[in-house]
Amino acid sequence: QCAAVCPTGAITIKQDIDRVWDAIFDPTKHVVVQIAPAVRVAIGEEFGLKAGDNVIGKLVTALKRIGFDEVFDTTLGADLTVMEEANEFLERFEKSENLPLFTSCCPAWVRYVEMNKPELLPHISSCKSPMEMFAAVLKEHYKSIQDTLKKEAIVVAIMPCTAKKYEAAREEFLRDNVPDVDYVITTQELSTMIKQSGLIFRELENNATDMPFGMGSGAGVIFGATGGVAEAVIRRCYSKKTSATLKDLEFCGVRGMSALKEATVLINNHEIKIAVVHGLHNAQLLLEEIESGNVQYDLVEVMACPGGCIGGAGQPFGLANKKVKRADGLYSADRLSQVKSSEENPMVLSLYDGLLKDKAHSLLHVNYTDR
């Protein structure tokens, strides 16, 4: 109730940080945390490091010192999104049904469609966002080991925006009346927690995320930059439908900070037309063009924030040049990653063979309805 009347949202933020601290200090709770791709290339700026520096190793150490029991990477959730969204896209493309397919990772964009363009809801991907896919998997995993764990599993997500708090609280993501993501903390809130802990962030050593959920691919990590979701999904479609690997997609036009990016990819002699927009105003302009029939696409990625999640409102304040550097940081992580594509991630394969067997649809998909 307080949050509803607080014009700055400061009360909500304070409450979320306090709730996370309470959970960490509660011996009856097993508190795990997932880190979104965009966070790792921005949070260092709060501690005197450069925009784009990938500080995932220091972040893991900080979160462990703060008291989280296990630290995971949302990139694995992004890999699951790639797998599911590529299947969904190819199915629709082959049937010419509900095209273009609009991506669904950004809750502010989904909300925009619900409020302003409900007739487009059948075009929105049914895939949950990486945060929600991963949280559903985590909750299912801890349920299966409840007898040995003997603690309540609490899932915290470190995200680049407050829209993710709204997403976590949506009724579609409650199971047995419990949200899959218990608390969302923004990048800036986490930097407050790190400062409250008295840690000297820039001097922390690097550590790896925890297994078995700590492994993500390069395709998953680029989700944080505008164009990243479309690129990752097309990489997957390409490898699924051809024996070749799509080496030159990064040069085909979905990267960069232009308001609208367009690309055409040839898969088995079929042209797939892709559009990528960031910023809701740009999305609105694109929708007008699509509706008037001036343009036609098969796959459209929309992110509400300029630059995508790297430019989220919960990130440290950054002008355009910082966003370019953050995006470069993610593309460089992709280049350096040993596993490039989501389907090559061994954890993804073992999830589909195990925990997700017969449950992939119920755990990884959602139905948004006209509000």
Catalytic positions? 85, 88, 105, 125, 164, 167, 172, 309
E strands, the chain, in order: 29-35, 70-73, 101-102, 152-159, 174-175, 178-179, 183-186, 260-267, 270-278, 299-303
Which residue has the closest beta carbon to ligand SF4? Answer: 312
Positions that interact with ligand SF4 (CB under 6 A):
106-108, 160-161, 163-164, 303-305, 308-309, 312
Return the number of the residue (312 or 318) whose C-beta is nearest ligand SF4. 312
Return the number of the residue (104 or 342) whose C-beta is nearest ligand SF4. 104
Tell me how far, at minimum, the Cβ of 219 lies from ligand SF4, in Å.
17
Do the beta carbons of residue 88 and residue 299 sit within 8 Å?
Answer: no
Identity of the amino acid at 174: L
Do the beta carbons of residue 20 and residue 185 sit within 8 Å?
Answer: yes
Tokens (6 digits) for 349? 């394969």
Query: In angstroms, rounded to a whole number, what is the distance separating the alpha carbons of residues 182 and 29?
Result: 12
Query: In angstroms, rounded to a whole number, what is the distance separating the alpha carbons of residues 169 and 354?
Result: 28
Tell me how far, at minimum, the Cβ of 86 lies from ligand SF4, in Å.
20
Q: How far, in Å, are 92, 102, 366 from residue 166 at the CA level?
A: 29, 20, 15
Return the number of the residue (106 or 136) whose C-beta is nearest ligand SF4. 106
Tell me how far, at minimum, the Cβ of 310 lies from ligand SF4, in Å.
8
Q: ∠26-27-28 over CA atoms, to 5°? A: 90
Classify 222 in phi/psi space as left (phi over 0), alpha (psi -120 to 50) or beta. alpha
Within 10 A of 225 (CB to CB), how many other CB atoms are there?
32
Return the number of the residue (218 or 312) whose C-beta is nearest ligand SF4. 312
Return the number of the residue (246 or 279) whose C-beta is nearest ligand SF4. 279
Do the beta carbons of residue 212 and residue 347 sit within 8 Å?
Answer: yes
